[in-house]
Amino acid sequence: QSENSYPDLKTIEDLQSRFKKCILFFDNDKPGIESSLKLSNKYSLESICIPKEFKVKDISDFIKKYGKEVTQENLKLWLS
């Protein structure tokens, strides 16, 4: 889902019925952070983002810069 295109309530409810946990994880830029906060508040969803100190915009940049193992370790931290 793009941070410029919001899912409707039916889509959110469908996802919540199929998964134990639904988490918003948009790009770590202004539009991504603002959209994540808006959807998080609107649908009471958990939201995570990559801390600014890593200096990357999204998870694919994080993997490229830090590797798979570091990414997995940090995702566990961010999700706990």
- Answer yes or no: pTM beyond 0.85: no
Res 3: pLDDT? 65
Res 7: pLDDT? 86
- Run means of pLDDT, 10 residues per run, the chain, 80 residues: 77 94 92 91 93 94 97 94
What are the distances in angstroms from CA 30 to CA 17, 49, 53, 54, 61? 30, 11, 15, 16, 16
> CA 22 to CA 47: how far, in whole Å?
9
